Amino acid sequence: MTPHGEFHWNELLTWDAPRAKRFYTATLGWTYEDMPMDGQSYHVCMSGGKPVAGIFQMPKGKGMDGVPESWFAYISVDDLDARLALLVKNGGRVMREPFEVPGVGRIAIVADDGGAAMGWMVPAE
């Protein structure tokens, strides 16, 4: 498990997953393993047989319209509820309340006191 306070996962939020997959295959040599997620596929990027990142196709009309394509980072935390309380106490904001992703972990989407968004998560064992 990724230690507390370290980056655990990165994912590309994109409007065109097939284009992104072609680009990262051509430039980095990534291959992909798809897994179902909310009625679509989440693309796990593989390098040397190891998962290194994800590609998420942003759904149109589900609150993400106008979101620019970008890489999104997830940081491992030891206790999500306790860390969220500290986040709020120190001027941060919870953008999406904690949710569980089976086999992945418990995640919240947060913003720091300057507005930078990220995911905080307790990774699954």
For the chain, give every domain's residue range.
Answer: 1-69, 77-125
Question: Which amino acid does the sequence have at 32?
Answer: Y
Rounded distance between C-alpha atoms, residue 114 and residue 80, angstroms: 20
pLDDT surpasses 90 at 19 = yes
H helix or E strand, kind and range, residue 22: helix 17-28
* Res 65: pLDDT: 84
pLDDT band at 40 (very low <50, low <70, confident <90, very high): confident
| pLDDT tens digits, one per residue of 42-93 | 999 999 999 999 999 998 887 778 889 999 999 999 999 999 999 999 999 9
* Res 57: pLDDT: 93
Residue scoring higher pLDDT (113 or 62): 113
Residue scoring higher pLDDT (36 or 108): 108
Average of pLDDT values for 12-29? 96
Average of pLDDT values for 10-30? 96
* Res 37: pLDDT: 83
* Right CATH for 1-69 from 3.10.180.10, 3.30.800.10, 3.30.70.60, 3.90.580.10: 3.10.180.10
Per the listing, tokens 């997620």 go with: 37
Average of pLDDT values for 24-42? 93
Are the folds of 1-69 and 77-125 the same? yes
Q: Domain 77-125, what fold? A: 2,3-Dihydroxybiphenyl 1,2-Dioxygenase; domain 1 (3.10.180)
Phi, psi of 68 (to 5 degrees): -75, 150
> What does pTM read for this prediction?
0.86
Rounded distance between C-alpha atoms, residue 125 and residue 2, angstroms: 10
**C-alpha distances out from residue 116 to 36, 89, 95, 119, Å:** 28, 16, 11, 10
Rounded distance between C-alpha atoms, residue 82 and residue 14, angstroms: 31
